Amino acid sequence: MSWRVGDLMEDSYRVKRVYTGGGMGIVYLARHLAWEIDVAIKHPRPELLSAAAQRRAFERECFTWSEIGLHPYVATCFYTREIGGVPCVIAEFVEGGSLREWIDSKRLYNGEDAAVVARILQTAIATAWGLAQAHDAGLIHCDMKPGNVLMTMDGMAKVTDFGLAKVCRGENGSAVSAGLTAAYASPEQMRGDAITCAADVWSWAVSVTEMFVGGIHWQSGAAAGAVLEEFGERGRKAVGLPPMPEAVFELLARCLEYRPIERSGSCAKIAEELREIYEDEFGEPCDAEKPDIELFAADSLNNRAVSLLDIGRTRDAEALLRQALGLDPHHPEATYNLTVIGRSRNERNEAWAIQQLRTAADAELGNPVPMKLLATLFLFTGKREDARRCFDEAAKRGWTGAENAEIDRLRSGETRKELAFVLAKPTSGSDFCADLVRFRRLMDKAETAIVEDRMNDARRYLQMAADISGFGRHPHLRRIAGRLQNSL
């Protein structure tokens, strides 16, 4: 199976770039023509799936990866499907390249020493959060390394390639690893023993050590503890790079304990400890905030549904969309997608969808999605005057250039002959983390104002929170608004 730039795969994906250097196989950057986003399409080398059991294991682990859902520090796996007779992963494309490339090109080390240390610690914290989410989903990565970490353009890390690690989970949280990269593998992996999440803790610590060392010069990950000890004897500093903070060194030493049971705790606890170290070092919080899983729950259900729709599993997808609306009654994408399903059955439910989207648009002024979908429905149903009013209202909301460009594209387009399913786009980056901090601060202020009977202040804080793009329908905001209403 081989495609070139410009080829059309399965009438759904237009190939834009081909990456052939991966150890596990080939990666294609392709445009998903229905979703109108770029995706990464990956397939293993044929020899890795030579047996039926290997193929089933690969598909099973990829499915588990897809169930992680949206997460700011995990590259989203949309689904797996056969293309050209080979199972392929359809995953989020992260445009900044891999951490491996950032280390080798020295991009990770741009700037003054303090900026470099901050960048390394932010990457370490983000990847720890990503692994913690995978562990909560019952998945052990087994191949954590810089090559399996992707970077956004603003330098936020996302863990990727869970499916290619090929883990077969067993009882009691242990597993048997069917694949590894020797330089990062834990001692128990190298021995072929059953593993736990502690194996990922080891490989994560090796990866963080490499960032401070500037590259990898050992062949076996089992030697990483000795490498770190020698690094400490040299003053925790590599030539031309800033020194590793002592507190980071001590944390990594605990993560590289030879016996898994003696290693530092869960990845979530490691991330929290590193955030404290970061704040002690720099006097301010790290951008890699603790993820808000509740924020992404309905989005994740919607995206899993769209993934199932893409491979023809309409009934399962519809159930997930209704679950999403159970969590967020005015979820724009789930509302829209149910309308598209209804159209395929000749059901006319556009009036319900328009009312839902209007409510969402009014509740979340900072989010362009409800307005964009509302305009799309108006155009589809031939209500061009209503669509024009949507466009005029959108122009007053002060969105970013990219968001306004999308609205302008819709404004100038012809009436759509058919509707396509829509995704809730994966989110990450420093801007998102700053918005999350602001949202949490406003929620705390609103709760305090309600307790102190300052209802006007509480309303003002809630409205400010609702105006933050992506947060206006947050379940926590709805709960606080309910408390406010009950207090009146």
Q: Cβ(224)–Cβ(209) under 8 Å?
A: yes
- Residue 37, number of CB atoms within 10 A of its CB: 15
Residue 137 CA to residue 140 CA, distance in Å, equals 9
Instruction: State the pLDDT at residue 121.
Output: 98
Q: Cβ(134)–Cβ(149) under 8 Å?
A: no
- The fold of 8-92 is Phosphorylase Kinase; domain 1 (3.30.200)
Q: For residue 23, what pLDDT band results from cuts at 50, 70 and 90? A: low
- The fold of 99-278 is Transferase(Phosphotransferase); domain 1 (1.10.510)
* Structure-token match 């869970």, residue found: 162
End-to-end Cα distance, the chain: 65
Q: Among 39-48, 111-120, 384-393, name the one with the lowest average pLDDT.
A: 39-48
Q: Which of 285, 263, 299, 278 is nearest to 426 (CA)?
A: 299
Q: Cβ(353)–Cβ(330) under 8 Å?
A: no
Pairing mode, if any, of strands 157-159 and 149-151?
Answer: antiparallel
Pairing mode, if any, of strands 86-92 and 37-44?
Answer: antiparallel
- Give the tens place of pLDDT for each residue, 275-334: 999 999 999 989 898 888 888 889 889 988 988 887 788 999 999 999 999 988 989 999
CATH 1.25.40.10 holds for 293-412: yes
Residue 42 CA to residue 78 CA, distance in Å, equals 12
Q: Which of 426, 378, 371 is nearest to 399 (CA)?
A: 371
Instruction: State the pLDDT at residue 398.
Output: 59
| Mean residue pLDDT across the chain | 86
Instruction: State the pLDDT at residue 390.
Output: 83
Task: Please compute the mean of the pLDDT values over residues 81-101 and round it to a whole number.
Answer: 87
- Residue 343, number of CB atoms within 10 A of its CB: 15
Residue 9 CA to residue 26 CA, distance in Å, equals 14
Which tokens belong to 462? 């809630």
Residue 352 CA to residue 342 CA, distance in Å, equals 11
Pairing mode, if any, of strands 13-19 and 25-32?
Answer: antiparallel
- Residue 431, number of CB atoms within 10 A of its CB: 14
Task: Please compute the mean of the pLDDT values over residues 21-49 and round it to a whole number.
Answer: 78
Residue 198 CA to residue 264 CA, distance in Å, equals 8
Residue 208 CA to residue 127 CA, distance in Å, equals 10
The one-character DSSP state at 188 is H
**Gyration radius of the chain over CA positions:** 24
